[in-house]
Amino acid sequence: MPELYFKSKEALFTASNSRSDYPSILAASMAPQEPVSSHNPADPALVLAQEQALVFPSFTTTTAWTLGVALRSHILALPAHKRRPAVISICLSGSSAPQLVFHCATEPGTRVDHVLWLKRKTKTVLRWQVSTWYLHCRLKPTRANESVCVGPSVMEGIEVLAEQFALSPVERYEYALQAGGFPIRVEGVEGVVGVIAVSGLQEEAADHEVIVAAIREFLDGKKEGSGANAS
């Protein structure tokens, strides 16, 4: 089977071009070459480890509602200088098109563009089975002896994907490397079962970080509930 090589100046990883292997394309085959920095939110190895640790025991439409409402609360609780009107969506995979099970605006001031970004982020996560922020960080080369991602623009990252996955000029604009698309994983289930997406916050990684915070709080609550029931 032919191999695909992702390159941005230097080769980043190799992967099978079989669609069924996409979960491993940007995950299992991309072991970090250097120690992971616990202080760098743009370290791709840290981002990947973080999202792989946030696994749900189960995920239903009730889960989507509870998590979506909590995510909205997290966004509204941000400091005024960080908060912006945002849109949240949660979709489940497994059909010809993602099934939308939660969608809301956090406050007045959102635009149609936000919804279009949600669709692009969702499509990106479903295809490559990782968060859009991980792709963003992984496709930006680092300077020698620096841990912070620097280098090409997001569009240059898209060009890397377009070249390696033979995306047409139209297709490349259907995906997004901006933060805010996050995979839903369930214990005992292979691959991604859905996507949580946020669009609208101002800072580069803010859409991603608020999703992580909401998921952590949700999962911690589940653990506490299980512990109380056991006792």
Higher pLDDT, 188 or 141: 188
Question: Residues 10-60: pLDDT tens digits?
Answer: 333 333 333 334 333 444 334 333 333 334 578 899 999 999 999 999 999
Domain ranges of the chain: 3-230
Span 66-80, average pLDDT: 97
Per-residue confidence (pLDDT) for residue 27, from 0 to 100? 43
Higher pLDDT, 146 or 196: 196
Does residue 148 carry a pLDDT above 80? no
80/97 Cα distance (integer angstroms): 36
Does residue 132 carry a pLDDT above 50? yes
Per-residue confidence (pLDDT) for residue 40, from 0 to 100? 57
Span 134-145, average pLDDT: 70
Span 2-14, average pLDDT: 37
Span 195-219, average pLDDT: 95
Is residue 194 within 8 Å of residue 215, measured between CB atoms? no
For 207, the enclosing helix (H) or strand (E) is helix 206-230
| Range in 103-112, 141-150, 163-172 with the lowest mean pLDDT | 141-150
Q: Collapsing DSSP states into helix, strand and coil, what is residue 97?
A: coil
- Residue 213 CB: number of other CB atoms within 10 A? 16
Paired tokens of 161 = 């994907």
13/11 Cα distance (integer angstroms): 6
Higher pLDDT, 202 or 105: 105
Q: Give the pLDDT band (50/70/90) at residue 153.
A: low
DSSP string, 119-181: HHHHHHHHHHSS-HHHHHHHTS---TT--S--SS-HHHHHHHHHHHTT--TTGGGG---SS-E
Q: What is the mean pLDDT of the chain?
A: 80
Q: What percent of the chain has pLDDT over 70?
A: 74
Q: What percent of the chain has pLDDT over 90?
A: 60
Per-residue confidence (pLDDT) for residue 199, from 0 to 100? 98
Span 180-186, average pLDDT: 98
Span 186-200, average pLDDT: 97
Contacts of 120 (CB under 8 A, 6+ apart): 173, 174, 175, 176
Per-residue confidence (pLDDT) for residue 114, from 0 to 100? 97
Q: Does domain 3-230 have CATH number 3.10.28.10?
A: no
Per-residue confidence (pLDDT) for residue 227, from 0 to 100? 61
